[in-house]
Structure 1
Amino acid sequence: MKVAVLSFAHVHAATYIELLRDRSDIELITTDPDAPPGDPKRGKALADELGVTYRAGYEEAFAERPRAVIVTTENTRHRQLVERAAAAGAHILCEKPLATTEDDARAMIEACEQAGVSLMTAYPVRFHPAFTALRHALGDGSIGSLLSVHGVNNSSVPGLDRPWFADPALAGGGAVMDHTVHIADLLDFLLDGEQPTQVYAVANTLLTAPGEDEPNVESAGLLTLTYARGLVATIDCSWSHPSSHPTWGGLTLTCVGQRALVEFDAFPPLLDGYDAVQAAPRWEPGTINLDAAMLDSFLAAARTGQRAHPDGETGLRTLQTVLAAYESLRTGQPVVTAAAARPLPHSGSYTSLSPREGRCSSQERT
């Protein structure tokens, strides 16, 4: 199957390329026409380093009629490429956040529905087997009804390597835009799409690297989400890992139920040792490759024409939480969302899992 990676702007682009390059069932095409001249981490220089086929522009990539594309541009440029890919009949995996405005997200969803192609939002953490076990425990009543959830998604400052992350015109925001959505997706999946009725957020720009000027976007944030059933969830979305931290990022979820407390760690403790050559500690990852698991799901949907999940509607719902957070930051007050006007869901109504979990036909809608 022919797959195109469109842009190398996002930090995950190189990872996707390496995973696809090593698959015998994939013919990979890459392009990054918006790369800054001379940037060794972008454009043809990176493609040559990774040993993959490179095309000069998006038109050249689309001319090869890929069956699937991965959009890894800057956040505010997602819509343009998603609409072009949909018009070309390609199934789409789009980096998170799906968009930076609700209008863009809805337009992307509509373009894909009209073209009959899948639109998947890149949320790899939900593919972790430990998170699947957490969903099972919630669904079968083992932990009882959820009372509270505390989510943490921290990382180093991405703008140190990719300056556009700190440019609101390209990123749409800072840490709140960047890291809220992963936790919001896990909550969305646990609660079968139920959205918070109220969002309150606080943020600041105090977390900076040594010698760095104060950023143009927030570098630390904390959200409090309230749900109609009484559940309260918090999301720490800060860029709080120093450059010396053994991992670039991390994600944890603590769920307090009526019967039990469950902790989920997407990136468990690492294997550690000492590198004599570098005269420094060395850490090796000790977890599964979540990006590979997500790509497997996306490629399977692209081959069969089934609807990919998490889909565009999921991306829209998580974006709505982010946008409510920014409105709260603007006003300094909690924001009542559209979900507050909807009927209270049954507290025990969770979707059961099946071998077809996360997939449905292209005619179904969420």
Structure 2
Amino acid sequence: MKIAVLSFAHVHAATYLQLLRDRSDIELITADPDGAPDDPSRGKNLADALGVPYVDTYEDALARAPQAVIVTSENSRHRTLVEQAAAAGAHILCEKPLATTAADAQAMIAACEAAGVTLMTAYPVRFHPAFAALRHAVANGSIGKLLSVHGTNNSSNPALQHPWFADPALSGGGAVMDHTVHIADLMDVLLGGEQPTQVYAQANRLLATETESADVETSGLITLTYPSGVITTIDCSWSHPPTHPTWGGLTMTCIGHTGTAHFNAFPPMLRGYETNKANIRWETGTTDLDAAMLEAFLTAARTGQRAHPDGPSGLRTLKIVLAAYESLRTNQPAAPQ
């Protein structure tokens, strides 16, 4: 199968490139014309470092008729690349958030439906076996009726390595845009697509350092109220310092009438100390979620089946994020539109 990766802007791009490069059933094409020529993490510099084929433009990549495309550009550039890939007849995996505006996300979904191609949103945590167990515990009533969920998705500030994350024109926002969506997507699964009626958000830029842009929020706390009565909180902060032993983490605690279930996507299994870095190190023990997500996408591309999480899933979670920003603007609860 021929697959094109368009843009290396996102932090996950290099991981996808390595996973696809090492598969014998994949013919890989890459293009990243938007990066600075001297940036080792972008363009031909990264392609050469990873040993993957590279062409100079997105048009060149699509002209080679890939069956599938992975879009890992800056958030605000997703729509253009998805529409180009759909017009070329390729199935598409798009990094999260799906877009920075509801109008862009809706246009992307419409373009893929018109072209008869699948659009998948990159939510790899859905594929965690421990989340499957959590979902089962909630669905079968093991913890009684679900009352509340407390979610965290924290990391180091991605703008330290990828400055565009702190540029609102490219990112659409900071920690709220970046990290609300994963927990919101898991709630989408647990509640069968139910949308919250109310979103309330608080955020600040206190975690930005002198070397980081303070143009976007670096910490946030979102509260979601669902029609079923479930209350969910999401800590979406970039709260890990650069010296933290892990880049990030995600947890969910589900509280029911009769019990509690806890999910940790990246539990530390081994703890040690790196003398050369004077730093604690954790080795996590978990499924390779990116590989599991890619496998699901490749299967959908080969068979023509609808991929999940799909474009509408990405739109629903984006609407929650946009409601959070409306709440920040008004200091009042907002409803997803």
- For the superposition of Structure 1 and Structure 2, which TM-score range results when normalised by the shorter chain? over 0.9
Please say if residues 199 and 335 of structure 1, whose CA atoms lie closer than 8 Å, have aligned partners that are also in contact: yes
Any idea what SS the aligned residue of 1:310 has? coil
C-alpha separation between the residues in 2 aligned to 1:100 and 1:109?
A: 14
Any idea what SS the aligned residue of 2:238 has? coil
Please say if residues 143 and 258 of structure 2, whose CA atoms lie closer than 8 Å, have aligned partners that are also in contact: yes
C-alpha separation between the residues in 2 aligned to 1:37 and 1:89?
A: 30
Deviation, structure 1 residue 274: 3.4
Q: RMSD of aligned C-alpha atoms?
A: 1.2
Q: Counterpart of 2:96?
A: 96
Q: Counterpart of 2:263?
A: 264
Q: CA 1:82 to 1:214, structure 2 compared with 1: closer, same or farther past 3 Å? A: closer
Please say if residues 206 and 214 of structure 1, whose CA atoms lie closer than 8 Å, have aligned partners that are also in contact: no
Confirm or deny that 1:316 pairs with 2:315.
Answer: yes
Deviation, structure 1 residue 285: 2.8
Q: In the TM superposition, what are the counterparts of 1:133-172 in structure 2 within 5 Å?
A: 133-172=133-172
Q: Counterpart of 1:179?
A: 179
Q: Counterpart of 2:57?
A: 57
Deviating 4+ runs (over 2 angstroms): 211-214, 272-285
243-252 vs 278-287, which moves further: 278-287
Any idea what SS the aligned residue of 1:184 has? helix
Deviation, structure 1 residue 149: 0.3
Any idea what SS the aligned residue of 1:188 has? helix
CA deviations 1:219-254 (Å, max 9, x no partner) are 000011001111110010000001111110100000
Q: Counterpart of 1:44?
A: 44
Q: Counterpart of 2:334?
A: 335
Deviation, structure 1 residue 269: 1.2
Q: Counterpart of 1:347?
A: none
Please say if residues 174 and 218 of structure 1, whose CA atoms lie closer than 8 Å, have aligned partners that are also in contact: yes
Q: In the TM superposition, what are the counterparts of 1:1-366 in structure 2 within 5 Å?
A: 1-209=1-209, 211-212=210-211, 215-276=214-275, 280-337=279-336
Please say if residues 150 and 253 of structure 1, whose CA atoms lie closer than 8 Å, have aligned partners that are also in contact: yes
C-alpha separation between the residues in 1 aligned to 2:212 and 2:74?
A: 22
C-alpha separation between the residues in 2 aligned to 1:293 and 1:147?
A: 30
Please say if residues 246 and 281 of structure 2, whose CA atoms lie closer than 8 Å, have aligned partners that are also in contact: no
Deviation, structure 1 residue 257: 0.8
91-100 vs 213-222, which moves further: 213-222
Any idea what SS the aligned residue of 1:54 has? coil
Q: Which runs of 5+ in 1 are unaligned?
A: 339-366
C-alpha separation between the residues in 2 aligned to 1:89 and 1:49?
A: 30
Q: Counterpart of 1:348?
A: none
C-alpha separation between the residues in 1 aligned to 2:309 and 2:327?
A: 26
C-alpha separation between the residues in 1 aligned to 2:274 and 2:98?
A: 39
Deviation, structure 1 residue 161: 0.4
C-alpha separation between the residues in 1 aligned to 2:293 and 2:69?
A: 14
Give the TM-score, by structure 1 length: 0.90
Deviation, structure 1 residue 276: 4.9
CA deviations 1:64-86 (Å, max 9, x no partner) are 10000000000000000000000
Please say if residues 175 and 219 of structure 1, whose CA atoms lie closer than 8 Å, have aligned partners that are also in contact: yes
Please say if residues 245 and 279 of structure 2, whose CA atoms lie closer than 8 Å, have aligned partners that are also in contact: no
Deviation, structure 1 residue 142: 1.3
Q: CA 1:141 to 1:197, structure 2 compared with 1: closer, same or farther past 3 Å? A: same
Deviation, structure 1 residue 139: 1.5
Q: CA 1:102 to 1:277, structure 2 compared with 1: closer, same or farther past 3 Å? A: closer
Any idea what SS the aligned residue of 1:8 has? coil
> 1:78 corresponds to which letter in structure 2?
H
> 2:63 corresponds to which letter in structure 1?
A
Give the TM-score, by structure 2 length: 0.98
Please say if residues 159 and 212 of structure 2, whose CA atoms lie closer than 8 Å, have aligned partners that are also in contact: no
Please say if residues 268 and 283 of structure 2, whose CA atoms lie closer than 8 Å, have aligned partners that are also in contact: no
Aligned length in residues:
337
CA deviations 1:267-322 (Å, max 9, x no partner) are 01142223455555443332111000000000000000000000000000000000
Any idea what SS the aligned residue of 1:55 has? coil
Any idea what SS the aligned residue of 2:296 has? helix
